[in-house]
Amino acid sequence: MYTRRLPMYLILALGSLASTALGQAPRLSVTQTPYGETPSGEPVMLYTLTNAQGLRTEIIEYGAIIVSLFVPDRDGQLGDIALGFDDLESYVRRNPLFGAVVGRYANRIADARFMLDGVEHRITANAGKNHIHGGGNRRFDKVVWKGAPYRREGEVGVRLLHFSPDGEEGFPGNLNCTVTYALTDENALKVRYTATTDKPTILNLTNHSYFNLAGAGNGDVLKHEMQINASWYTPAGAGLIPTGEIHRITGTPLDFTEPHAIGARIAELTETRGYDHNYVLDGAYGASVLAARVHEPSTGRVMEVFTTEPGVQLYTSNGMKNVKGKGGKIYNRYFGFCLETQHFPDSPNKPHFPSTVVRPDRRYESETIFKFSTK
C-alpha cells in the first residue's frame, strides 16, 4: 500500500506562513516525517534539512533519494531544482533514477562480468548483455535504507545505512554501506559514502540527481552555462562501453574547459542524441577537486560540484519523454542534467583505469559536494 501526504508546495507554504507569523528566521535544522509504505509494507521516512539561508532539501529512505532541493535565486526566491515525483508510488514504480543513490556499481560493466583475483563473477545483465547501475530489483535505488538524523557544529544531516548480502545481483562480499547527506550554512550539500566488505569486491557509488537550475519542469537546460574541469574523456563504443582509450576533448563537442551553453554543440552528438559521456577530471584523484560549475542565466543560480572521484558522467536526459513529475509538470528530453561523480565505466575490465576494488582491510570512502550561490 501507499500512504499519501500533503503536496510539498502546501507544506512549504504553511511552514513559511507559520515562520512569518511567529517572526522566526530560518535556522539550521533537521526533521523527519513519515512518507508512506512500500507495496511490501516497509515504512519510509522523509528527512528535511534546512539552513539559515532557507535552502532546504528532502531525502527519503527509499533509494536514499533526494526528492527536492530548494535553492535561492539572485532575488532570494526559493525554487526546487531537483526533478522528481510527488509520491512514493511513483518512485517505486517508474523512477528513472531521479535523485537516487546508485550501486553497487554505477554506470556500465561489459558483458555483465568481471575477473577479481582470478575468479570470474557474473552479475545481472540489465542493459542488453551488459550491466548498468547495480542490476535488477535489489539495486540500491530500489531498497529502503535505514535513516537517522543528526546535527553537529556547522551542519545537519541524515545517515542512511544499507546491507547488501554476498552474492546479491552477482557481486561478492557482504557489504555494509552508509550514505550521509549533510547541509551547511555555506549552502553546501555534502554527500559522503563509506562501505566495508568481508570479501574482495568492486564498488562504484554515485547520486543520480537530475538538475534544472531554472526550476524542475521549467523548460530545458540547453541555455545553462557549464564548465567541466576535464581535459580528457573515455570514448565508448557499442552499448556505451568504454573502448579503453583515453582521448583529449580538444576540438570535440565534449569540450567544456571554458564555460558555454549545454545546447551550443549538443546537436553534433548524433549517436547519443545528447551528452552521456564520462569525463576524466583534472587534478589529484582522492583529493576534493572542482569537477564542474553550472550557471543558469535567468535565475542567476550557480551550482559547483566538488568530488574525490576521478570521473564525472554528464548526462542530459536524452531519452526522457512525457514524464509526469512534481506538481503535474511534464519532463521531456533535455529537461535535466546529471553530473554523476564516479569511477569510470567498465573499470573492473580495464586494468589501467583507476581501480574499483574494495578489500576487507580497507574502508571505501568517497565524497561529493554540491555548493550553491548566485551571480
Active site residues per annotation? 208, 340
C-alpha pair distances (Å), 352 with each of 234, 246, 298, 375: 12, 10, 43, 40
Residue with cell 562480468: 113
H helices of the chain, where? 8-22, 88-94
Please state, in angstroms and rounded to a whole number, the distance separating the CA atoms of residues 266 and 224: 12
Which of 332, 349, 47 has the alpha carbon at shortest distance from 212?
332
Q: Are 269 and 316 in contact (CB under 8 A)?
A: no
Which of 246, 219, 167, 175 has the alpha carbon at shortest distance from 333?
219
By residue count, the chain amounts to 375
Q: Write out the three cell numbers for 171.
A: 557481486
What is the β-pairing status of strands 260-261 and 301-307? unpaired
Q: Are 126 and 80 in contact (CB under 8 A)?
A: no
Q: Which residues contact 195 (CB under 8 A, 6 or more apart)?
A: 175, 176, 177, 178, 203, 205, 358, 363, 364
Please state, in angstroms and rounded to a whole number, the distance separating the CA atoms of residues 34 and 128: 37
Q: Write out the three cell numbers for 166.
A: 554476498
Task: State CA 168 to chain mean position distance.
Answer: 22
